[in-house]
Amino acid sequence: MATEEWIKRAIQNGKLYEDLPPRVRSVLPVSEWKLKVKEHCIQRGLSYDDSLANTSCQEQEYYEDLLRYYRYNYRLFPYHLSDYVCRVLRVTPFRYYCDLLFTVMREEKSYDQIPNFTAADIVRHVGIGRNEYIATMNKCKAKKLLWRMNKAVVKEHLPTEPQDVVKQPWWIAHVVNLGEVEFRSLAPTELAACTEAARPGGVRLRDADMALIDQLHRRGLIYLEVPIRPDDHVSIPPLEGFVSNRDSERNEDKADPIEIILYAVFVATSARASVAELADILQVELPKLQAAISIACRLGFATRLPNPAEDEEYLNIPNMSLDFDLDSEQLDLTPTAMRASSLGYGIASLAAEEIDDGHSGQGIALVVDAEVTSYLMMGALSPGLKRHSVTLFEGGRVTGAEVISELIFELDASVEAASGFEGEMQRLAGYARALATSLRCIRASGGARPIELLRKESLAGLAPAAAARVLSHAYVAVVPIAPLPYPPLPLAPNRPGPTNFGPTAEAATPWVQLALYTAMRSGPVSVVFVCGQRLWRLPPQLLQCTHALLWPWNMDAVRAHVVPVCWSPFLLFMQDMQNRECKNPTASNMSWIFMYADDIALVAETQEALQEALAIIDRVFIQWGMHINIRKTQILCLQSGTQTGDSSEQFWLRGQPLEQVQMFKYLGSICSADMSMQPEIASRLSRAGGAYHKLSRLKVWKDKNISVKIKVILYKVIVQSTLLYGCETWAVTNEDIRKLEVFQMRCLRRILGISLLERIPNAVTRAQCDIPEVANLIRYRRLRYLGHVARMGDTRLPLQFMFGTISGTGTRGRPMKSWNDYVRDDLEAIGLPYNWRRKCKNRDEWRAAIKVLLDVPSP
């Protein structure tokens, strides 16, 4: 492990293989070193020419592997590498995202698995959002072959041409490497545009024909660069088109560095700081920050403020598409006029945030937490407030004088709209009213200083020192709401920085609250435990408590939420926190298995009995601080004869009706109302096929360096175990057995490289892999489970259920073959129809008797 860490640091420091110590080179071959170097550079999205990648592989191989890694990890298109990816490889963002969507759909993953920025860029280029993705996925599932998602089927339902992308006049167009056929097919005007774009540095869009540029861009003949210079100033407008899915992996090796910097840019960017100053504040390399800001501007989540020298040059160009009217008679471009104008968002929206505002460029921040943000999102009764809530939640702050004014207006509008509501909406309206009042008071007392709304959790992604620099540079005063969640803001009275009108870091410690409780002789029951103390039982002071707040000793940990007290889990949770606080090595040995506490099945013969059982268990759960999730609770009525499987009466829990379904999944197996095995068999085939093809995509089955024996072991452990999960309780028909056997033989033939045209018998194939028939495997597991239950005591419920009988008479017609009937046939097949009870009492003897089912006969 130490050697691995040393090698990783050596790669990060840019060392060559020849610079490694002899002891490291003795255990690390050159080929393995080159592989590690390439993986490191690909994970961090480094350029081939500016990294150690140029010592490990060829340039084309490197960029092809990089695109493959980005696609399988759902990363943003590598715009910062467009000079090779777009120009040489001729891979456009549209083609890249179509392949990425196929990768997601082939694995049948939900739309939420696509990271936020990637999903936003997919909408921008492909036009596939959440609703379109779900519709396309349903169409593809209807046409997929067996368990595989065919690429041709997916592409049939994806757009064939990219969407029209919004472009800015300061962007730069470059031409790709054109082939001879493409070059000869160009029209004279297109050839002239490509010639201009082929010059060193490309051509700015304001100097080209935009209609012609759009046409060439859709055909993939040019690619666009969004230049960001160190002296540029950038602002973050309200987020439009942001897709709230998930962040990418936060693991150091898998995290997308661009996405991490993008979230930091959302929090720290200010029109008063240049890009170079922002890099110094965040302690980020300037080229990486420029690449991240370039992507933010490309996605429309950031706006580059125009350089005055450039403004005079291109604002007077006719027919230029900008965000405001460019009539020279009406537009005054002097700083005073721009500061007094009201031109909406974009370039002129920062008039109140000019760099020379007379107050050292520092504003006042009202700091809120995620709870306030959630209240705004739930209580937003206007689209404008919803947009600002998304900006606050995803971007981390709402800034700009006009934006704050609009936010106050939208808050007042939501409060007025909620005046006719009752209950929870009135409570949410109260939060909106309080926030609007707070913003008005701060704006009235802050003079001409700009006001910002800052979400405290957005600073958590920054190092404490970087967060302190952001606060010190951007604000002259900070007004937090109380109480803010732990940890406190990185501000201290003995260090330079903005004035903090909220509680200090010392006030956020438990000792201050304990001192207040002692001085006032009032407060909740509080118990202090020594760090690392082992708890064998719940303290008597907490026996009568219904809720508890756990506060760790380690002040760097996240403050725990209020949790209902369920004694055993609460005691384990408290003990685990104690162990982790003192770094107890035995902390990992704690068992967290609660015997399916969240997955319980109640069985009853009549509706009245089930309704009574529901009431009893709900009452007991409430006494222990637990609650049944009504939305996840379902009723399944088993069919019998001509019954429909639906109850004529409704089941109720705490006054709410429960959903009745025809099937549901319990412990990984599908239970059907008609007691049919077809849904379960189909589910097993689909999951096993997915497991097989995941290994196939890794080229495990075709790898000649892996022996057939290892491949068969992998098949048994991963694929076969998934295929036959829960088969001990199956009552399958011959048709079900045939489907399972066909699947297994298909997999084995592909592992051995056997074609159907060779007409090799299945028995020969099974003998080469030493795998018995699926029917015998099911019989073996069924009889093994029979012996396990038969060895239980007579009072055990599984034994009573297995050998119990149901009273009454059945309906007309031949009864369905039960599990016991299949077991009886299995016993007769191995010659144990009568004396099996005696043999199963001895486990070793029983397993030896049924092991004959696993023998693979010679062909």
Which residues, 6+ apart, have CB-to-CB distance to 794 below 8 Å?
800
Return the minimum-mean-pLDDT range out of 228-232, 789-793, 852-856: 852-856
- Neighbour tally for 299: CB within 10 Å: 22
Please provide residue 330's backbone torsions phi and psi, each rounded to the nearest 5 degrees.
-105, -20
Closest alpha carbon to 45 in 272, 329, 315, 261: 261
Mean pLDDT value of segment 403-413: 87
- Tokens 């409704």 correspond to 650
Give the count of beta carbons closer than 10 Å to the beta carbon of residue 196: 16
pLDDT band at residue 648 using 50, 70 and 90 as cut-offs: low
The tens digit of pLDDT for each residue in 781-820 reads: 988 998 898 888 877 878 877 777 766 676 677 777 788 8
Angle CA 499–372–553, to nearest 5 = 70
Q: How far apart are alpha carbons 46 and 50 in whole angstroms?
A: 7
Residues 6+ apart with CB under 8 A from 503: 480, 482, 483, 484, 488
CA R_g for the chain: 33
Q: How far is CA 506 from CA 84, 501, 513, in A?
A: 53, 14, 11
Q: Which residues pair with 235 in a beta bridge?
A: 303
Question: Alpha-carbon distance 824 to 842, whole Å?
Answer: 20
Which span out of 243-247, 491-495, 741-745 was modeled with the highest average pLDDT? 741-745
Give me the phi and psi of 656, to 5 degrees please: -120, 140
pLDDT over 80 (residue 218): yes
Please state, as a whole number, how many other Cβ atoms lie within 10 Å of the Cβ of residue 624: 13
Closest CA to 221 of 213, 233, 229, 211: 213
CA 724 – CA 691 distance, rounded (Å): 13
Q: 462 pLDDT exceeds 60? A: yes
Within 300-423, residue ranges assigned H as helices are 308-314, 335-340, 370-379, 383-390, 401-417
Q: Tokens representing 254?
A: 């898998």
pLDDT > 70 fraction of the chain, expressed in percent and rounded: 81
**What's the Cα-to-Cα distance from 671 to each of 601, 632, 674, rounded to whole Å?**
11, 16, 9
* Of 506 and 579, the one with more pLDDT: 506
756-765 contact pairs (CB < 8 A, 24+): 761/859, 763/857, 763/859, 764/859
User: What span, in angstroms and rounded, lies between the C-alpha atoms of 159 and 157?
Assistant: 7
Question: 121 near 76, Cβ under 8 Å?
Answer: yes
Q: What are phi and psi of 175, to 5 degrees?
A: -95, 150
CB atoms < 10 A from the CB of 505, how many? 16
**Which tens digit of pLDDT belongs to each residue from 21-51?**
888 888 888 888 899 999 999 999 999 998 8
Q: Average pLDDT of 318-330? A: 37
24, 3 Cβ separation under 8 angstroms: yes
Question: Quick one: three-class SS letters along 278-328?
Answer: HHHHHCCCHHHHHHHHHHHHHHCCCEEECCHHHHHHHCCCCCCCCCCCCCC
Residue 853 is predicted with a pLDDT of: 75
How far is C-alpha 438 from the geometric centre of its chain's CA atoms? 35
**The two structure tokens encoding residue 806:** 């149901």
pLDDT band at 381 (very low <50, low <70, confident <90, very high): low
Instruction: Please state at what angle helix 275-282 crosses helix 257-268, rounded to 10 degrees.
Output: 110
Average pLDDT over residues 56-68: 93
CA angle 503/504/506 to nearest 5° reads 120
Supply the pLDDT for residue 216. 92
Q: Note the pTM of the prediction, 2 decimals.
A: 0.60
537-547 pLDDT, tens digit each:
777 887 777 77
* Separation between Cα atoms, residue 56 and residue 62, nearest integer Å: 9
pLDDT beyond 60 at 311 = no
Residue 220: count of CB within 10 angstroms of its CB: 17
The pLDDT value recorded for residue 325 is 37
pLDDT higher than 90, residue 62: yes
Contact 811, 640 (CB under 8 A): yes
d(CA 854, CA 852): 5
Report how far residue 62's alpha carbon sits from residue 89's, in angstroms, rounded to the nearest whole number: 11
**pLDDT averaged over every residue in the chain:** 79
Arithmetic mean of pLDDT, 157-165: 89
At 812-844, the pLDDT tens digits run 777 777 888 888 888 887 777 777 878 888 888
How far is residue 28's CA from residue 563's CA, in Å, rounded to a whole number? Answer: 50
pLDDT tens, residue by residue, 163-173: 988 899 999 99
Tell whether the model's pLDDT for residue 226 goes beyond 90.
Answer: yes
Tokens of 531: 């760090």
- Complete DSSP assignment for 464-505: HHHHHHHHHHHEEEEEE-SSPPSSPPS--TTSSS-EE-S--T
* Contact yes or no for 97/121 (Cβ under 8 A): yes
